Amino acid sequence: MTPMPAPTPQSTSHIPTTRHSNAVQDAADNNKAMAATPKLSATNLKFYYGAFEALHGITMQVYDKRVTAFIGPSGCGKSTFLRTLNRMHETIRTSRVEGQILLDGGDIFQLEVSALRRRIGMVFQRPNPFPKSIYDNIAYGPRINGMTKSKSEVNDKVEQSLRRAALWEEAKDKLHESAYSLSGGQQQRLCIARALAVDPEVLLLDEPCSALDPIATAKIEDLIFQLKDSCTIVIVTHSMQQAARVADFTGFFLLGNLIEFDSTTVIFKNPAKKETEDYITGRFG
């Protein structure tokens, strides 16, 4: 991918990139991110479930402190690729990976897996809080990682994480109630807070809003927008509007291949590949 010319702000598309009100500034920001060492770099990544090859050699970069979205039809390998980035696939006995993934230039397969997952957190499509209190859901990670020594440090971490996930105001008076007493959208923000509590460098989000109403979705999108100051974010979404709203970069997957990867503005307003254009204009998928 070569440095991007600044797109014209009046460029037309049926998908508004509403967050990106200053397209010239966005292009400059993206070029800056691309000039630095990528946070994650995958090279010729192949993934097998038994004999089935689900990813056919993915090469792409995830840029530091930016939001990258993966889009594409169901079954094309988005979740498979996302899970591989923090080695979540290793729980699937028949799975096998070929190729390379680097985190800050170092091979992720050489890291201790718990250390990797502390640096790269993940939030799944369905909220999956632990059957514990709201407080204990958040406190668990910092405690087992030895990040908090005293009760007041734990309290601070719980408050800070809930604030970062925009849940503090709704949860502060019921911290010791079960996490299941929260609504679905609140539970999803709790899972994000839990992931944030160990200060990850990268957050992987697999369709985090698919079960949520538009208000809860908007809260999570706001949160993603704020988090990218401190965290690199990769989000899988079926909503092209969502990708267009939150992502700086977008990758389009199809049948186990990464068809096109570029700045979100380019993908939605001027894609290079016909398959991408067909997908974003709703001609297939």
Interface residue list for Mg ion (CB under 5 A): 79
CB of residue 277 to ligand ATP, shortest distance in Å: 19
CB of residue 191 to ligand ATP, shortest distance in Å: 17
Q: What are phi and psi of 120, to 5 degrees?
A: -125, 100
Distances (CA, A) of 8 to 4, 130, 155: 12, 47, 48
What distance in Å separates the CA atoms of residue 276 and residue 273, rounded to the nearest whole number? 5
CB of residue 78 to Mg ion, shortest distance in Å: 5
CB of residue 280 to ligand ATP, shortest distance in Å: 15
Contact (CB, 8 A) for 276 and 252: yes
76 binds, among Mg ion, ligand ATP, none (CB under 5 to 8 A by kind): ligand ATP
54 binds, among ligand ATP, Mg ion, none (CB under 5 to 8 A by kind): ligand ATP
What are the residues binding ligand ATP (CB under 6 A)?
Answer: 49, 52, 54, 72, 74-80, 92
Characterize the bridge pairing of strands 95-103 and 257-263. unpaired
Indicate if the alpha-carbon torsion angle 55, 101, 239, 274 is positive or negative.
negative
Contact (CB, 8 A) for 57 and 99: yes
158/191 with CB nearer ligand ATP? 191
Contact (CB, 8 A) for 42 and 60: yes
109 binds, among Mg ion, ligand ATP, none (CB under 5 to 8 A by kind): none
132/238 with CB nearer ligand ATP? 238
79/186 with CB nearer Mg ion? 79
